[in-house]
């Protein structure tokens, strides 16, 4: 391998395909990773990188010598709340013309934070496909932003409604009703 080749990514592409980009906390997702190569190299692994990043707006007072007074400075604190890298395969030797598709399953943890975007802070979930290469930069695919929601917010909870006929007039009513809505007869529990 030439000296300058160590600083260049291998000539390959990785494409991560997701069936949907909106997930509930704790939900698993089936993904497809398509890999193609135009150069011969050895990959240590093919994986998916999932990250949850929180940013918060902060302020601090800094002395400015030019103004001879303190001024307010705004900055953003960044924290990685969750990071996971499930792998699709281990070591693999790629040659020019190589094409392969890997299917895998990964998920958002149930105890994670839901996505939000505000003036003073935000939480984002990002996922991308990666071909890891020793001694050279990794080949990365496009970063996809996921929308992660709380399970209770994604769909209304369905309640099972059971019906029964009135013992006197035969009108169908809720099983929990004390009186018939048609004839007014008391119902047995």
Chain CA centroid to CA 10, Å: 27
DSSP state at residue 156: P
Taking a C-beta distance cutoff of 8 angstroms, is the pair 20, 6 a contact?
no
Q: CATH top-level class for 4-149? A: mainly beta
pTM over 0.85: no
- Four-point Cα dihedral 102, 20, 25, 108, nearest 10: 20
**10 Å Cβ neighbour count for 26?**
14
Strand pairing partners for 62?
A: 71
Percent helix, strand, coil in the chain (nearest 5)?
5, 55, 40
Q: Take residue 13 and report the two structure tokens written for it.
A: 């592409």
Q: Where are the domains of the chain?
A: 4-149, 162-189
Average predicted confidence (pLDDT) for the chain: 88
The 10s digit of each residue's pLDDT in 96-127 is: 999 999 999 998 998 888 998 888 899 999 99
- Four-point Cα dihedral 113, 74, 118, 128, nearest 10: -50
The 10s digit of each residue's pLDDT in 52-68 is: 999 999 999 999 999 89
């Amino acid at each position: 391998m030439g000296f300058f080749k160590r600083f260049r990514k291998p000539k390959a592409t990785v494409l991560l395909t997701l069936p949907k980009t909106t997930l509930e906390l704790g939900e698993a997702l089936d993904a497809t990773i398509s890999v193609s190569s135009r150069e011969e190299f050895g990959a240590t692994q093919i994986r998916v990188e999932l990250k949850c990043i929180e940013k918060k707006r902060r302020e601090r007072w800094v002395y400015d010598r030019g103004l001879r007074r303190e001024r307010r400075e705004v900055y953003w604190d960044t924290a990685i709340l969750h990071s996971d890298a499930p792998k699709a395969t281990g070591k693999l030797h790629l040659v020019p013309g190589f094409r392969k598709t890997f299917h895998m399953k990964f998920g958002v943890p149930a105890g994670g934070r839901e996505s939000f975007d505000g003036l003073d802070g935000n939480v984002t979930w990002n996922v991308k496909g990666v071909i890891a290469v020793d001694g050279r930069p990794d080949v990365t695919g496009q970063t996809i932003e996921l929308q992660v929601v709380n399970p209770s917010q994604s769909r209304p909870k369905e309640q099972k409604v059971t019906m029964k006929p009135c013992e006197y007039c035969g009108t169908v009513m809720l099983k929990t009703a004390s009186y018939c809505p048609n004839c007014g007869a008391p119902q047995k529990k």
